[in-house]
Copies of this chain bind each other. A is one copy, B any other.
């Protein structure tokens, strides 16, 4: 077979062998399921994630939202301004530390939560996994995130 090159087993460059591609494809495909559901309440997927963080515990500093979602200010600052324009949140400088901006939920932002309650149900249906499989997947994904985060930190 002269037209097929010999490569080391663990270094295949075939697309379907790359875990990264499965991850990337799955992530985009799941986000695509969220889109029409979130359209109904007027949020994008990253905006929904920020609201999840705030519904869990608000008011919070932007720094804390950043840490929870692993997103930097360059992403969050404009996103939070859009959420503010939508009337879901308010930003406020802290008295005792003028560097910090605190994000609080408005009345509207709080009541939006009840409209989002059925989103996770619909999503878990779309994933088509059993509870056990979901748990396995989540465990593996968390380990991947932890390993790669540490790996990246080690190269800094």
CB distance from A70 to the nearest CB of B (A): 6
- Within the assembled complex, what's the spacing in Å between the Cα atoms of A29 and B55? 25
Interface residues on chain A, number (Cβ under 8 Å) = 67
Q: Judging by beta carbons under 8 Å apart, are B23 and A26 in contact? A: yes
The binding surface of chain A is classed by DSSP as helix
CB distance from A22 to the nearest CB of B (A): 4
Asked whether A42 is an interface residue with its Cβ less than 8 Å from the other chain, the reply is: no
CB distance from A41 to the nearest CB of B (A): 12
- A residues sitting closer than 8 Å to B (CB atoms) are 7-8, 10-15, 17-34, 36, 45, 49, 52-53, 55-56, 68-70, 113, 116-118, 120-121, 123-129, 133-134, 136-138, 140-149, 151-152, 155
